[in-house]
Structure 1
Amino acid sequence: MSENLENHKTEGFDSSDALVVRRGAPFRITLQLQGRPFNPRTDSVKIKIMLGRLYAVMPVTFSKTVSSTRWKAYMDQEDLNLQEPSIYISSPASASVGCYKFQLCVFTKNSQRSCTFGKFILLFNPWCREDGVYIPFEDQREEYILNDSGLLFMGTAMNLVSRPWSFDQFEPGILEACLNLLQASPQHQQSRKMDHLNRNDPVYISRVVSAMINCEDDRGVLKGNWSGDFKDGVNPSSWTGSGDILRHWVQSGYSPVKYGQCWVFAAVMCTVMRVLGIPCRVVTNFNSAHDTNNNLVIEEFYSNTGKKLNHSRDSIWNFHVWVECWMTRPDLGSEMDGWQVLDPTPQERSGGVFCCGPAPVKAIMDRRIDLIFDVPFVYAEVNADVHTIIVNEGRVVGVNKDTEKVGSLICTKAVGFPRVQNITGDYKHIRSPTLSSRRSPTPDSTLRRAGSSNGVVVFLTLEKAPVAGEPIHFTVKVINKQNVTKRMKVHFNAQAKEYNHSPSDTFWENHGVMQLAPMEAQMIHQQILPAQYEDVVGDDLINLAVVLEDMDTQEQALASEEFNIATPELIIEVANADSTVVNKQQMATLTFTNPFSHPVSGILSVSGAGLIQHKVQFRMPSLRPGARVEQSITFVPNMVGTKMLQANLSLTNIRSTIRGFKMVTVRRA
């Protein structure tokens, strides 16, 4: 058993009651004959493999030559133990995945028959060159199949938030939940035989899973909710891993789990695909367009005082999260092999069902909008232009065009390291130096948006990435392009907004008048104090805009920026981290310092696949501004490898969650 698991890279599934193996590679079963040894001259063996109503029957031979297209069973004559003979079963590299039953019968020279039954679970095999999901680099197989934790990137392109996530693919019951997901799909319910036949194809499997992660058309896993009201379920921001979600779905009899948003849908899909053996990674697209009329233009509307208005069916999400899966595309041609976009968040129907993809990343780069599946939709998400329109009493008084905002950064977790990897260049040709500079954010990045009219140019610049508990400092630079003096009305407006919604009401504004000499440039310095934003913003973002109005010509110019406020991380320190070994108690200390301008309290949750069996919670008492609290925990690792210990502090009197994680390397005892 352990030899099979090691050879097939399935050691993590050792809690399953069935042998877990990968297609295209042999696995060994051992016969225990009662009463007498095996006689290779007079005894023969046949094996029947069954997946639902599909089956294959094969004699056990002494030829070790296997086929990449046919099932084969053989004994190794050179290493044959007659008391307990071993039989090797080799599946084709194109076999359907799922839970197989097998019947093994031994026939003697007197035609006496003795049979036994068993089962095994067959997965895709990215280590097998003939498999359609083969990925040629070991570090990528380790990352995209075996890594049971990761980072999801949120916030904004200039101020990334790294959210730890536990994929939990090796936790008890998760493998079975993922196989149940295939069984619960409409495709399986409509025709089990056709579903089993089609399960050899990662393109087919990926579309089934993309639809089954959301519950809009089926008995899918998650119900989406962007209303802000989660009282009859779980706030999407509270989830820390896929395991709780998948277990809850199975235990409820396949009722949808409430609730998910884009990063939850994507992270759960990543778990399912890694379990099934398809290389998968979670990808974030910053400033992701939802183009409802397919014209590759997103219109955003502002009032003449800088308030963003909800006047358009089109939208831009500050970030949107999907997955990429690695596979060949024989249906499209080998030039489309490689990473494929799949999006389980229900936005638009594809083939009548709420799913998206697999859309080849290469097709998006090359604008091959003639190809299946959903290439035009994904292309618009990363390439649409933005028209910002200022309106006053129903009349358009100013228009800005931005060709760089959408898809400004597309990223994923780096292979082998807890940091960001920029993959924007895989999706789009980098069109200008401006875009290039914005693709590599650092904590000190300057955020800038510029607007202009015939007479003036206005730039809005954040002096540094905003941090919770500190004033938000920003500067407006105004340049008079003409040889006449100008008197300008200046309007500042700040609104809180969720990542996928139009902003809510204005929480801060400022108004004034300025005079510009001919060709003069002036700087205006402003700040928003913590007490003005803390109770409003929480984990939300801020839409900040400035509008300048020429008091003589009524011409208007607008500059705007949407940004997030960085919250501090929980600090996690593991005692004697280098000596962490499996099945031995270890201790960690969690530290939090209150950065806010008023006292906070909350619930601290600690979890970690392979480290902690069940989530541990502590109540944190009220902590005054600037004060620090420590919490010690003990844990007993039960799995070898690099594991993620993560902690969440959900504050009760402010709409914010503080997070932290620590990678822990667990060695054998």
Structure 2
Amino acid sequence: MVDSYRYYFNDLVNRLRGTYNDGRREDRRREAEITGSVDGDPDSVDAATGRATSRANGNGESRTTATISPLKIGGVTFYPKENGKNHRTSKFQLVERGTPILRRGQNFYIALLYAPGQTRKFDKDTDQIKLIFSFGPHPSPMNGTEQILKVEKVLNADEARWSARITRVDKNAMTLEVHTSADSCVGIWKCKVETMLQKTPTGEEQLTEKFTCPDDIYLLFNPWDSSDVTCMKERELLNEWVLEDTGKIWVGPHTSTRGRHWVFGQFDDSVLPLVMILLEKSGIAFPSRGNPILVSRALSKIVNSNDDNGLLMGRWDGEYGDGTAPSAWTGSVPIIEQYFQSMQPVQYGQCWVFAGVLCTLCRAIGIPCRVVTNLVSAHDANGTLTIDRYFDETNNEIDYDPHNPRGSKDSIWNFHVWNDVWFARPDLPKGYGGWQAIDATPQETSEGVFQCGPAPLEAVRKGRVGYSYDVGFVLAEVNADLVRWLKDKSKEFGFSRMEANKYHVGRQILTKKPNVFDSEGDSDRLDIIEEYKPKEGSRTERLQLVNAVRGSNRPCAPHFLEMDPKEEDVEFDLIELEEIPVGDPVPLVVTITNKSSEPRTVQADLSVESMYYTGVRANIVKKASGKFKVQPNAKEELKMTVQPNDYMDKLVEYGIMKLFVICVVDETHQAWSDEDDFQVVKPPMKIEVTPGVKAGKPAYVTFSFKNPIERRLTNCVINFEGPFLSRFSSIKYKDVEIEEELRYTHRFIPKSTGSQRLVATFSSKELIDIVGSSVIEVN
């Protein structure tokens, strides 16, 4: 960065931090007083004007043009609460503190207050007023980062331009209506006022009075405005995808996934300032900050810390002693606050934490955003649009890609979470606007850095991998074929194909139903899989992959080549498990049906391993192998039971295990393999609140659960938060003995009435990912 920009950046950070810290001190002061006061409805603009005008004095006397001087402005009022109500920004804590937050393309009102000693009011025949709005360190009208508005009697008829008009002139102030264009840069604007006389005596230099407004003015995207590219016709859906500050993120294997509550908290007074700082760090050009395509892509880059010392550091190995375990977070705000104060990456996040934070940032600046979870998600490391797994002659999986030994190996995550954002795509052919996939989890680089998207869902669905951005990677995540290969020296490829599973990847793609919230179950779950791909196994779905392969610049996936037909007269079926309560045995069953008229000899190999949710192996839990005969037209069951003592010491976070099965028929060389992910689940945390909760009055909440394992729990921590209920708190708790019930009671002071949500997590050295939530009615 050049010196001038470095100064701008440091000044911005210091100014925003100062405002944030002042607000926090005021919060603590108010809570200490426990006044119980609640702000009422904002006054009308006219009434606010009356309050503002009382600050200045003047007798309104006029002078002749030859003796008067330009009006002197002593202050500017942006009516943050009044404008906030019209612009749907009144929930922002910054608005409550007096900061104007506006949406572009929509009119707003300001008042110019005459300076003390100003002895006359505005005269339309005498005075000329200009408003100068500037954006960034080097504003220019040429690129839209400076807007110079001559205040007129009426607004400009061209809504694509900024304009201003006078609506009211009082003795000590005047009210203006300002219109911004629907493609304005999004972020912090500054305002100056210049006043001068319409005419000056012949030969005199034109005198100008200038006033610089001290306020930061936040201008956001406006999805309610039909001229904004973020506009969504179904306006009621914006209540969910822009204004909802709590929600759910679905996590876990496809047989036991659950909706985990998450506090987005986009209205917290730390969020908008940090978005501004992150956009600065991302390097996105100032004139590009009105383009949601580039803004969302920049945010997907800067939320992870891999390239730019960004917000959140990822970790997936279970070692979180020098930070916070991903499962312990309750929402985005504590992560944002920690980064805001230190400007160092917060430790640690995983995909659903990255997605939760990215959703917060997008909703804060007005981009409609939802969090989506892909159950059984492919990570195509080499761009072949397949997930290839290779096995040696002894049926053991090869732990690298033999055709790319130095590169990454394909993998399948139990689940993966990213975001969809909504806006038009004027850079692409018609029909590719709407939902776009973006992903802040650092998996593969795009254009040399760890970022992903926005990939139009319609392009993913049609296999149009040539359209920007990263369509091929997202398509593989939801619809890659899983191909298993057995080493075979007789084949030119070096391996013979055991099978190509067309149905394993992308079982469901889940998000929260808009404007529905189930605090106890999952009835608010919505499967949007058909927005990403046609019905599995259909001709259209196969065509999607064919189009993608044709459009890819990578070599054709090997399994699309002609393969030798095989004689397959034995059917295999792995019985899928759902969730297993922690401490229970795990029964595993494979059925084998011999459909031929001759006996078949089957070599079977089974292994159970604990897994990280990214598909990385952790520990071998149990293995078994054997060879046996299956009589003609007969059915056999292959069984194995995993006892609690087999797995308790080998589980890793989230309690996920995977069963691998490989069977080879001696007589026909038929080979079959399959796998199943299942989860050892833990009990939820109970949350009980005292009845009759009132805004501004102390209330009490109790968190509890019973230790479900035969181990003492140490290094125990309870985290909880809820917008307008309680800021994020982290409580260290004593050790919990075997079968002991943990109980902790906390006092809090609700700030706002209505249905509010509280989210809590518990973690210890021996047991993590205990979560709970509650809806609290505040009177």
2:756 to 635, 643, 648: 643
Specify the SS of the correspondent of 1:335.
coil
The alpha-carbon distance between structure 1 residues 66 and 521, as it changes in their structure 2 partners (threshold 3 A), is: same
Unaligned runs of 5+ in 1: 188-194, 437-451
The count of corresponding residues between Structure 1 and Structure 2 is 637
Contact 1:489 1:512 in 2 (8 A): yes
The reply on whether 1:285 has 2:378 as its aligned counterpart is: no
Find the counterpart in structure 2 of residue 402 from structure 1. 501
Specify the SS of the correspondent of 2:735.
strand
For residue 400 of structure 1, report the CA deviation from its aligned partner.
2.3
For 1:182-261, list aligned pairs within 5 A. Answer: 182-187=279-284, 195-252=285-342, 254-261=343-350
Find the counterpart in structure 2 of residue 343 from structure 1. 439
Specify the SS of the correspondent of 1:415.
coil
| Residues 408-428 of structure 1, C-alpha deviations (whole Å, 9 max, x = no match) | 211112212243211100010
For residue 21 of structure 1, report the CA deviation from its aligned partner.
0.8
Worse-matched range after superposition: 355-364 or 291-300: 291-300
The alpha-carbon distance between structure 1 residues 409 and 464, as it changes in their structure 2 partners (threshold 3 A), is: closer
2:686 to 546, 571, 576: 571
The alpha-carbon distance between structure 1 residues 595 and 307, as it changes in their structure 2 partners (threshold 3 A), is: farther
Specify the SS of the correspondent of 1:156.
coil
The alpha-carbon distance between structure 1 residues 537 and 424, as it changes in their structure 2 partners (threshold 3 A), is: same
Worse-matched range after superposition: 160-169 or 80-89: 80-89
Find the counterpart in structure 2 of residue 27 from structure 1. 108
For residue 323 of structure 1, report the CA deviation from its aligned partner.
1.0
Find the counterpart in structure 2 of residue 192 from structure 1. none
The reply on whether 1:48 has 2:163 as its aligned counterpart is: no
Distance (Å, rounded) in 1 between the aligned partners of 2:337 and 2:592: 56
| Residues 118-172 of structure 1, C-alpha deviations (whole Å, 9 max, x = no match) | 2311111111111111112333211111222222212122211322222222222
Find the counterpart in structure 1 of residue 646 from structure 2. 532
The reply on whether 1:105 has 2:181 as its aligned counterpart is: no
1:134 to 216, 222, 231: 231
Find the counterpart in structure 2 of residue 117 from structure 1. 212
Contact 2:609 2:658 in 1 (8 A): yes
Find the counterpart in structure 1 of residue 77 from structure 2. none
1:325 to 410, 421, 440: 421
One-letter amino acid of the structure 2 residue matched with residue 76 of structure 1:
T
Find the counterpart in structure 1 of residue 769 from structure 2. 657
For 1:509-588, list aligned pairs within 5 A. Answer: 509-512=623-626, 514-538=628-652, 539-550=654-665, 555-576=670-691, 579-588=692-701
Specify the SS of the correspondent of 2:252.
strand
Worse-matched range after superposition: 315-324 or 357-366: 315-324
| Residues 257-304 of structure 1, C-alpha deviations (whole Å, 9 max, x = no match) | 333222222222111111111111111112222223322221124567
Distance (Å, rounded) in 1 between the aligned partners of 2:336 and 2:727: 16
Find the counterpart in structure 1 of residue 358 from structure 2. 269
Distance (Å, rounded) in 2 between the aligned partners of 1:537 and 1:139: 44
Contact 1:13 1:175 in 2 (8 A): no
Find the counterpart in structure 2 of residue 449 from structure 1. none
**Superposition RMSD in Å:** 2.8
- TM-score (norm: length of structure 1): 0.88
Contact 1:309 1:502 in 2 (8 A): no
| Residues 170-223 of structure 1, C-alpha deviations (whole Å, 9 max, x = no match) | 222221111111122223xxxxxxx22111211121122122112333232223
Specify the SS of the correspondent of 1:168.
coil
Distance (Å, rounded) in 1 between the aligned partners of 2:723 and 2:395: 47
Find the counterpart in structure 1 of residue 90 from structure 2. 11
Contact 2:460 2:471 in 1 (8 A): yes
Contact 1:308 1:502 in 2 (8 A): no
Distance (Å, rounded) in 2 between the aligned partners of 1:328 and 1:245: 30
One-letter amino acid of the structure 2 residue matched with residue 399 of structure 1:
M
The alpha-carbon distance between structure 1 residues 136 and 650, as it changes in their structure 2 partners (threshold 3 A), is: same
The alpha-carbon distance between structure 1 residues 378 and 392, as it changes in their structure 2 partners (threshold 3 A), is: same
Distance (Å, rounded) in 2 between the aligned partners of 1:251 and 1:309: 46
Specify the SS of the correspondent of 1:76.
strand
One-letter amino acid of the structure 2 residue matched with residue 534 of structure 1:
M
For 1:354-393, list aligned pairs within 5 A. Answer: 354-390=450-486
Specify the SS of the correspondent of 1:659.
strand
Specify the SS of the correspondent of 1:537.
coil
The alpha-carbon distance between structure 1 residues 613 and 291, as it changes in their structure 2 partners (threshold 3 A), is: closer
For residue 518 of structure 1, report the CA deviation from its aligned partner.
0.8
The alpha-carbon distance between structure 1 residues 486 and 523, as it changes in their structure 2 partners (threshold 3 A), is: same
One-letter amino acid of the structure 2 residue matched with residue 403 of structure 1:
K
Contact 2:312 2:345 in 1 (8 A): yes
For residue 574 of structure 1, report the CA deviation from its aligned partner.
2.7
Specify the SS of the correspondent of 1:46.
strand
Contact 1:306 1:492 in 2 (8 A): no
Worse-matched range after superposition: 304-313 or 363-372: 304-313
Contact 2:717 2:762 in 1 (8 A): yes
One-letter amino acid of the structure 2 residue matched with residue 19 of structure 1:
P
For residue 244 of structure 1, report the CA deviation from its aligned partner.
2.4
Find the counterpart in structure 2 of residue 486 from structure 1. 600
Contact 2:580 2:679 in 1 (8 A): yes
The alpha-carbon distance between structure 1 residues 306 and 652, as it changes in their structure 2 partners (threshold 3 A), is: farther
Distance (Å, rounded) in 1 between the aligned partners of 2:585 and 2:247: 32
Distance (Å, rounded) in 1 between the aligned partners of 2:584 and 2:392: 29
For residue 645 of structure 1, report the CA deviation from its aligned partner.
0.7
Worse-matched range after superposition: 318-327 or 596-605: 596-605
Distance (Å, rounded) in 1 between the aligned partners of 2:149 and 2:296: 30
The alpha-carbon distance between structure 1 residues 309 and 640, as it changes in their structure 2 partners (threshold 3 A), is: farther
User: Structure 1 or 2: larger strand share?
Assistant: 1
The alpha-carbon distance between structure 1 residues 29 and 376, as it changes in their structure 2 partners (threshold 3 A), is: same
The alpha-carbon distance between structure 1 residues 609 and 359, as it changes in their structure 2 partners (threshold 3 A), is: same
Specify the SS of the correspondent of 1:536.
coil
Contact 1:499 1:540 in 2 (8 A): no
Unaligned runs of 5+ in 2: 1-79, 141-145, 201-205, 402-408, 518-523, 542-565
For residue 360 of structure 1, report the CA deviation from its aligned partner.
0.5
Worse-matched range after superposition: 556-565 or 491-500: 556-565
Return the index of the structure with the highest Cα Rg.
Answer: 2
The alpha-carbon distance between structure 1 residues 29 and 640, as it changes in their structure 2 partners (threshold 3 A), is: farther
Specify the SS of the correspondent of 1:595.
coil
Contact 2:84 2:102 in 1 (8 A): yes
The alpha-carbon distance between structure 1 residues 82 and 135, as it changes in their structure 2 partners (threshold 3 A), is: farther
The reply on whether 1:68 has 2:159 as its aligned counterpart is: yes
| Residues 569-593 of structure 1, C-alpha deviations (whole Å, 9 max, x = no match) | 11223333xx544322222232313
The alpha-carbon distance between structure 1 residues 95 and 609, as it changes in their structure 2 partners (threshold 3 A), is: same
Find the counterpart in structure 2 of residue 610 from structure 1. 724
Find the counterpart in structure 2 of residue 460 from structure 1. 574
Distance (Å, rounded) in 2 between the aligned partners of 1:8 and 1:22: 6
Distance (Å, rounded) in 1 between the aligned partners of 2:458 and 2:400: 34
Distance (Å, rounded) in 1 between the aligned partners of 2:607 and 2:697: 56
Contact 1:492 1:510 in 2 (8 A): yes
Find the counterpart in structure 2 of residue 85 from structure 1. 174
Contact 1:363 1:369 in 2 (8 A): yes
Distance (Å, rounded) in 1 between the aligned partners of 2:694 and 2:487: 64
Distance (Å, rounded) in 1 between the aligned partners of 2:358 and 2:668: 55
The alpha-carbon distance between structure 1 residues 354 and 551, as it changes in their structure 2 partners (threshold 3 A), is: closer
The reply on whether 1:422 has 2:527 as its aligned counterpart is: yes
1:2 to 61, 81, 88: 81
Contact 1:382 1:407 in 2 (8 A): yes
